[in-house]
Chain A
Amino acid sequence: MSYPENFRYTKEHEWILVEGDTGTVGITHHAQKELGDIVYVDLPKPGTAVEAGKAMGSVESVKAVSDIYSPVSGEVVEVNELLATAPEKLNEDPHGAAWLVKIRLANPAELDGLMSAADYQAYLGE
């Protein structure tokens, strides 16, 4: 599986793609594979303040619930409405159509603490 070079990654298996002052956040292919069939996604509403490393929502597979941790601090500016009706898209396209939220970054320096694609793949042992 390829992990996009322009994403940054967390140890909790989220990714973030930063464009300007806004980052698009999702969960990784590895995360969706480990979770199995995803049936429910709970995300913060636009306007919610989120903090780097803190739980901001959850994703549920048939079997289990997992927290989603925000890779950065900031404010949620957009939520992917697709996931409310089609959570299974997270299994199909976790790095694309099934992004979770867009966050306006409060502290872009936090990105330095995240992993590159190469580091993340090494972290996964791939």
Chain B
Amino acid sequence: MLKQIPLAAVHRALGAKMVDFGGWEMPLQYTGILEEHRAVRTAAGLFDVSHMGEIEIRGPEALQLVQQATTNNAAKLADGQVQYSGLLYEHGGFVDDILVHRVAADHYFLCVNASNQDKDFEHIRAQNRWNCTVENRGADYAQLAIQGPRAAEILQKLTPVALSEIRYYRFRDGEVCSRPARIARTGYTGEDGFELYLSPGDAAEVWQALLDAGREAGLRPCGLGARNTLRMEAGMALYGHEIDASITPLEAGLEWIVKWDKGDFCGRARLEKQKAEGVRRKLIGFEMRGRGIGRDGYEVRVGGQPAGWVTSGGPSPTLGKNIGMCYLPAELAQPGTAIEIVVREQPVEAVTVPLPFYRRPK
């Protein structure tokens, strides 16, 4: 039995194609992935990402637990600030990649991947030597993401909160459509935009109000299909693809979320060892040169020999090219390496390129 997000019936009524995503019945697309992708790059898109998990950590020593469990330095956060971070196993591989929101000095709000939320919760709880309250609250929040160059202007019609005062990776608790909402200037598309944390009972009204408010500006409902092509162009990792339990942040190009000067954290010893010995494989982007599309799991060859694998791949609607990301031995994971992707037993020419593929115009 698939888990239901609060708005599943609303999406079906909009004509969405629904799919099983990690155990949740989720909208893959409404009108089409390409059209939805372009709407986000040129106007705005509205995503229901209510499957995402939320974990709350409270207590006078909440910071100590967050610092122990995550790789980034949560001590640098001010109230209302958000940080991308990693949860690692002792062996250095990813439990998950997460967003840490500091609500108050004694209250942190974590947004985690849907299918990892129970595992994350247990992982954090197992490190709770500080008598913090740790709550697994995925079912208590719906999450909507409005993303794109016109997202702020559309959302502003429905909230008294001055959105221009919320900087990137900051959040405010306020109201949207007179309903309580945590409004975070974050996203997973490479565009400006907001992620809204709502009570599940308020999600349908806010969803509809946003669609109505954004119609003239070109806002479209968008599914997970466009979310994936957008994040891929932005070079963002997806758990189960670029990162998983066998991959460390140093390999995934995410050393920037590992803060060596913060003190101990779960996985640190193994990462230090890996850094000292040298990272053997690294993530890098690629563009197809020959005809064909490199996709997740396809073999990558260099000089005719197996050298790595594709983590994500597909057409880039913005660039009009077939792109992807792959792991290669560190010495080959440099832009400009001629590689081959094995597409249905046929090696097809490709070349490595730097990440990300797309950066929004400032």
Query: Does B associate with A?
Result: yes
- Report the Cα distance A84→B290, complex, angstroms: 13
The size of the chain A interface, using a CB distance under 8 A, is 12
Cα A58 to Cα B291 in complex, Å, equals: 13
Please choose the segment from A32-40, A46-54, A104-112 that sits at the chain B interface, where 4 or more of its residues have CB less than 8 A away: A32-40
* Total of A-B residue pairs, C-beta within 8 Å: 37
Q: Tell me if B315 is interfacial: C-beta within 8 Å of chain A.
A: yes
Distance from A68 Cβ to chain B, minimum over Cβ atoms (Å):
12
Q: Is the CB of A62 within 8 A of B344?
A: no
Could you tell me the distance between the alpha carbons of A36 and B228 in the complex, rounded to whole angstroms?
A: 15
Chain A residue numbers with a CB within 8 Å of B293 are 39-40, 60, 65
Q: Is B34 an interface residue (CB 8 A)?
A: yes
B196 adjacent to chain A (CB < 8 Å): no
Q: Kindly state the separation between the CA atoms of A37 and B28 in the bound complex, as whole angstroms.
A: 12
The DSSP consensus for interface residues of chain A is strand
The answer to whether A63 and B344 touch across the interface, beta carbons within 8 angstroms, is: no
Tell me if A62 and B295 are in contact (CB < 8 A). no
Q: What band does the interface of chain B fall in when counting residues whose beta carbon is under 8 Å from A?
A: 10 to 19
In the complex, how many angstroms separate the beta carbon of B43 from the nearest chain A beta carbon? 18
- Let me know if A42 is at the binding interface, CB within 8 A: yes
Contact at A36–B225, with CB atoms within 8 Å? yes
Assess the B344–A37 pair: CB atoms within 8 A.
Answer: no
The interface residues of chain B, by DSSP majority, are classed as mixed
Complex Cα spacing A40 to B228, Å: 18
A36 partner, pick from B17, B292, B317, beta carbons under 8 A: B17
List of A residues within 8 angstroms of B317 by Cβ: 62
- Closest B residue to A88 by beta carbon equals B34
For residue B229, CB closer than 8 A to chain A, the reply is yes
- Asked whether, in the complex, the Cβ of A36 is within 8 Å of the Cβ of B29, the reply is yes
Is A58's CB under 8 angstroms from B344's CB? Answer: yes
User: Which B residues are in CB contact (< 8 Å) with A36?
Assistant: 17, 28-29, 32-33, 225
Encode A57-73 as 1/0 by CB contact (under 8 A) with B: 01011110100000000
Residue of A nearest to B229 (CB): A62
Most buried by B among A39, A40, A62, A84: A62
Q: Would A63 and B32 be within 8 Å (CB), given that A36-B17, A39-B293, A42-B344 are in contact?
A: no
Which residues, 311 to 360 on B, are CB-close (under 8 Å) to A? 314-315, 317, 322, 344
Whether the pair B314, A62 counts as a contact (CB closer than 8 A) is: yes
**Chain A proximity of B232: nearest CB distance (Å):** 11
